[in-house]
Amino acid sequence: MTSLREALGQMFLFGFQGYEPEKDILDLLRTLNPGGVVLFRRNLRDPEQILALTRQLQGASPNVPLFIAIDQEGGNVTRLPEPFTYFPGNRALGRSGSEDLACACAEVTSKELLAVGINFNFAPVLDVDTNPQNPIIGPRSFGPDPTEVARLGLAMLKGFRNNGVIGLGKHFPGHGDTSQDSHLTLPVVAHTLDRLQTVELEPFRLVIQDPDGPEAMMTAHVLYPSLDPEMPATLSSRILKEVLRNELGFNGVIVTDDLEMKAILDRLGPEEASLMAVKAGADQLLFCHHPSYLSRCIDFLVAAVEEGHVTETRILESVQRISILKERYVRRPLSPEDQQVLIEKIGCKEHRALAEEISLFLEDPQRAT
């Protein structure tokens, strides 16, 4: 890294519109040195198009390879279209109680992601499903038992890691007992500290303590007054530094949830949100819809360093964590022959049979493996 601006670029992940990157996106990749991109259904048509897209994106980032990320949880958060294998989501895995099925699901998902050049999956959800009125988590959770959530989450993380894809635990410190959607407003979880420790925080504590725990964690845009009465987790030094880093001992990459969600942007502009997230301890800042924010935010952060609001050492700490993760996972493209072998396995009979086996647990919750 040769400059502060380039270092700051690594701290951003962004989304964009379309099946192909426009010239402004390619220019952004060449000039701002962003850490990576996140893909949505709006970018994804079929395996051949997705592979061409990821290769074009990587080719426009000649100095540092990109994280190419996606939310491929299964169930109602599924980005990849047919013919990719559709898995029913964490509720079905939770009802199965099977670490083997959770791991196998993650293995198949990883193989299909790598077939098209995607190296970072924003999964699994580690939120505990304790509120039937929750509009955003519900079936995305493994269930209401924190220990089971951790056990099955670890199995999925193992499946991702063993097949060369980065997994990520979310949404720290727990989005399971909200009655509002942070895409639309700022939810509040008003439980006591004791309750947070035994339910919401417990899966995160257990997976972090495990040697096979997550190497990345995503924050929640949720206010927890017992932990920080003023700031949502994404912007809270108390939650990210004191709780996640110091108390729980997490040493990996902290990724914000989308900073364009209304829980944040209703209160702060993108520049101020970026600075507050960095000061709180976040390593990567996620902007899913407006790539133009990156240049503005990087300029703002450069000025913040120059004015002493945040130190360059703090920036380089994040870049070091990001670099370690990239060195571990982000590989050169496979040969066309090897890539074709992977593509031909997408949605194959064996993959679909596994998805059908897992789906049975939604149809018959009493079924046991």
Catalytic residues: 183, 257
Please state, in angstroms and as integers, the Cα–Cα distance from residue 347 to each residue in 80, 82, 117, 359, following that order: 11, 8, 16, 15
Q: Using CA atoms, how far apart are residues 61 and 35, in angstroms rounded to an integer?
A: 9
Q: Name residue, tokens 């939770």.
A: 94
